[in-house]
Structure 1
Amino acid sequence: MKLKNIINYLLVALLAIQLVSCDNKESLDSPFNATPTERLNAREKELDDLLASSEFGWKAVYFTDNTQLGGFTHLFKFKDGKVDMASDFDNDTSIFASEYDIVLGSTVSLVFTTKNRIHLLSDSNSFPTAALRGKGYKGDFQFLYYGQDNGQIIFRTNRTFQELRFVKATASDWTDLAKSRLMVANVIGESTRPLFRLLETNDGTKISQFDFTFTSNSRFATSNSIETGSSLTNNIGIAYTPTGITVSPAVKVGNQELTTFTYDPATGNFNATGTGGVTASIKYSAKPLVLTDDYKMFLPGNPYIYFGYFVGDYIEDAPTNSDLFVSLLNQANTGLPVGKKLTDIYVYLNHPTLGSFINYYFENGSFIRHYVVITEDAVNKKVILTDDGFGAGGAYPPLSFIRPIDAQLLDTNGIYVKKEKFKLGYGNDVYTLTASQNPFRMSVWKL
């Protein structure tokens, strides 16, 4: 063999040896040299160490479904399989102890293994609206670990694969939960403020207005543009803070997204500020943003029609039902025995023989009937219902049980009538009857 060929073979052999040596080194250094179980065990320790690493624990604002529910703030302090937990789910912001575990599956996950505040969101027997019956607040108590980002722990919920971030809590976060609960009344709307609410946005060149209705049980607000022909909405889930609220999804104003609204006690407004003159504000109005002629169907001489509210049916979920109406309804039923509770409220207009009246129906089939005379306030586009006597059927409860609701419907300053854009369960149109002076709103189906 020629010397030149021998040298070439030797060079090739040396190169092959170097490549094998490099491959072996990379193999030894590679994380994939570990078995899947070893990698999961390492990931498990990483998460457990991380959970215990924050001095004051972790905070998570959990929006379980921001298409119909708001956010719930939870605080966690982890150590050795034990967790101290508090939340703003209700007025009890105390700290409760329970247990957690790091579970190995297809990935590593955090599981709250014994009952605590987080489980209030996954209890199917506790639901804020009729539409969520059997679903609860759509929450989870198992969270899949997906690493870290700028000091935050990234999880995804086990059931819906929704991202949830834990951020490091501060000492004040634990005391602020109770302060956040004080914000609830401000979001609902103070009784000393004007009756109506709106969301107003300013993109720096144009001001836009949306009606605004908040439902406290679900922490969800609906707002629709009042501009003719516009279908723009800003329906948002709301989470409470000591200084205001955060919202999800964000309110879009121009090309900016606003999520943090600060409460102004002087005006009762919640204000968010962007850049370049961009703002959004939830504020009060002394009258409806748009006065409609929807009230005219109530007037004498029109065809016979009637409307109904049914306890326990989809109409309960109308975001336009005010807390005052709901509380008066609960108050009416609190003193009634089983079998006699108030179940339906019907408003009959222009009956061919009986005229106009309100019927309050009870479980035992009895009812209280209040005959009314209807007059028009054409200037303010309202109707005024005045007393024309009572009638009844069956062994009905005393009048005192329905008086508080009845008094609102017969507000001497009149009531506004508005056809809503949304439907509830059925194809029937939804109308809202709103008292002029008090935050009383009752939504009914047109039947």
Structure 2
Amino acid sequence: MKIKFIYKFLFAAVLALQLSACDNNTDADPKFDKTPTERINAQMAELKEALLSSPEGWKAVYFTDNTILGGYTHLFKFASDGTVEMASDFDESIDTQISEFSEYQIQLGSTVSLTFTTKNKIHFLSESDNYPIAALRAKGYLGDFQFLYYGQENGQIIFRANRNGQEIRFVKATKEDWDNLPKNFDMIPNVIGSSSRPLFRLLETNDGTTKHQFDFTFSPITRYATANSIETGYSVKFNFGVGYTPTGIVVNPGIQVGSQKLTDFVYNDADGSFTATGTNGATAVIKYSNKPLIITDDYKVMLQAPQTGFAYINANLATASSNSLLFNSLIAEIHASLPSTQKVNRIQFTFNDAFGESYITYSFTGGKTLIYHNFTVQEDAVNKKLILVPGTWQANTGAVIAEPALLKKVDAELMNPSGLYVKKETFKIAFTNTIYTFTSSTTNFRMTTYAFQ
């Protein structure tokens, strides 16, 4: 009887505690005080209030997909009548920075969302027939015009794109943001790199104690950059989208330096560098170098028999990102001097043919005959450079001719007495042929070729 009494007593005590807890639970989650409809309506009202709360509207650097594309700055100024004023730096040729009015709605789908319902600048990123590279054919710039609302944090409005879940953060815009947006376009040539600067660039990180260096390449058409470690045994690499600002760039994802991620780079016109600064001495700097970060022995294949060949083929390599601005401009000059039916077809090196001779063959479309420039080869073994010593010019008939004026500039780069750096690249372009680049050791000249061996 005593045991039964004890069980009854314990059961009553536990029940009393539970009832007491229910009676005293005055801090219950308030979401249970509202119906689902009331909660949704509250979210919609919250978002609308937030959109209208910033006098100068909102700014978003929209990285549609930071694995392949860069960021596009958009400015929004929302009105209570459902219209929105907008500007962006998507494309200077079609984006005049004159803001336009269109309509927006706060809608309910899978969740509360902000949807731009009539065409405006944001829609350029979502048009499937407007794509920057072949890999994005029928996909466009992977952008969206419906943003799912995920709340607010530190004064920012947080969205995710309905298309791919990419996060977009709205930060309060200022009058200066609207006034200075055209300066984003002024920053583009600085990111691409000037022909007056050295050709070689690198990313250097410093966590306050240790420095690391990475090569740096940038594609302006996708606003995307890659940086690979040049250090043996250190395989870190960074792939990141780039967004332009009036004073520099912003990158996504950020560059990991120690325990910090650095995203905002400031441009220095004195040396062409971009610097992101963290705490405790952490920095990341994109800067120029007067020589390649890694100098290879790849040129040695041109010194050996049997015959080897390397050709720039205009139809396939004209858009290669590994061509320098100077090279592209020299090809454009040649084309400008020719009839409209004629273009450069190939610039082809032949080393050590069956007669032990080496020469460049310049060929053209449109019926223009071949032109040859003979040369001999020297090696700068100390500096790992290939030197082409110019010889005679010959017509297709074999007759010796004077140097053709239209080829003088491009040929002078190839016959630079200071020599050329040669690199066997790891990437391919259109075909399986190995890519070799020929780079001047003194000027901003780099030509991309297929190997024929």
The interval holding the TM-score normalised by the smaller chain is 0.7 to 0.9
Would the aligned equivalents of 2:132 and 2:222 in 1 still touch at CA under 8 Å?
Answer: yes
Q: Secondary structure at the match of 1:246?
A: strand
Residues of 2 paired with 1:159 and 1:337: CA distance? 48
Structure 1 residues 48 and 276 mapped into 2: Cα distance closer, same or farther (>3 Å)?
closer
The RMSD of aligned alpha carbons is 3.8
Would the aligned equivalents of 1:295 and 1:416 in 2 still touch at CA under 8 Å?
Answer: yes
Would the aligned equivalents of 2:76 and 2:87 in 1 still touch at CA under 8 Å?
Answer: yes
Q: Is 2:277 aligned against 1:273?
A: yes
* Aligned match of 1:78: 78
Q: Is 2:116 aligned against 1:115?
A: no
* Aligned match of 1:439: 444
Consecutive unaligned residues in structure 1, runs of 5 or more: 1-10, 394-398
Deviation at 1:164, TM superposition (A): 0.9
Counterpart of 2:252 in structure 1: which amino acid?
A: S
* Aligned match of 2:383: 380
Consecutive unaligned residues in structure 2, runs of 5 or more: 1-11, 398-403
Q: Secondary structure at the match of 2:418?
A: coil
Structure 1 residues 349 and 41 mapped into 2: Cα distance closer, same or farther (>3 Å)?
farther
* Aligned match of 1:350: 352
Specify which of 150, 161, 173 is matched with residue 165 of structure 2: 161
Q: Secondary structure at the match of 1:437?
A: coil
Deviation at 1:365, TM superposition (A): 7.6
* Aligned match of 2:297: 293
Counterpart of 1:81 in structure 2: which amino acid?
A: G
Would the aligned equivalents of 1:96 and 1:116 in 2 still touch at CA under 8 Å?
Answer: no
Residues of 2 paired with 1:336 and 1:122: CA distance? 40
What's the TM-score, normalizing by structure 2? 0.80
Superposed counterparts of 1:18-417, under 5 Å:
33-34=34-35, 36=37, 39-79=39-79, 80-91=81-92, 92-97=95-100, 98-299=102-303, 301-310=304-313, 313=316, 318-329=320-331, 340-342=342-344, 345-352=347-354, 355-362=358-365, 368-378=370-380, 379-385=382-388, 386=390, 388-391=392-395, 405-417=410-422
Structure 1 residues 185 and 148 mapped into 2: Cα distance closer, same or farther (>3 Å)?
same
What's the TM-score, normalizing by structure 1? 0.81
Residues of 2 paired with 1:403 and 1:129: CA distance? 33
Residues of 1 paired with 2:340 and 2:109: CA distance? 49
Report the number of matched residues.
427
Counterpart of 1:51 in structure 2: which amino acid?
A: L
Residues of 1 paired with 2:49 and 2:238: CA distance? 41
Residues of 2 paired with 1:81 and 1:387: CA distance? 73
Deviation at 1:392, TM superposition (A): 5.5
Residues of 2 paired with 1:327 and 1:306: CA distance? 24
Deviation at 1:339, TM superposition (A): 6.5
Residues of 2 paired with 1:305 and 1:382: CA distance? 17
Would the aligned equivalents of 1:269 and 1:282 in 2 still touch at CA under 8 Å?
Answer: yes
Residues of 1 paired with 2:104 and 2:296: CA distance? 56
Would the aligned equivalents of 1:191 and 1:439 in 2 still touch at CA under 8 Å?
Answer: yes
Deviation at 1:268, TM superposition (A): 2.1
Q: Secondary structure at the match of 2:86?
A: strand
Would the aligned equivalents of 2:83 and 2:103 in 1 still touch at CA under 8 Å?
Answer: yes
Residues of 2 paired with 1:367 and 1:108: CA distance? 67
Would the aligned equivalents of 1:203 and 1:279 in 2 still touch at CA under 8 Å?
Answer: yes
Q: Secondary structure at the match of 2:209?
A: coil
Would the aligned equivalents of 1:237 and 1:249 in 2 still touch at CA under 8 Å?
Answer: yes
Deviation at 1:185, TM superposition (A): 2.1
Q: Secondary structure at the match of 2:208?
A: coil
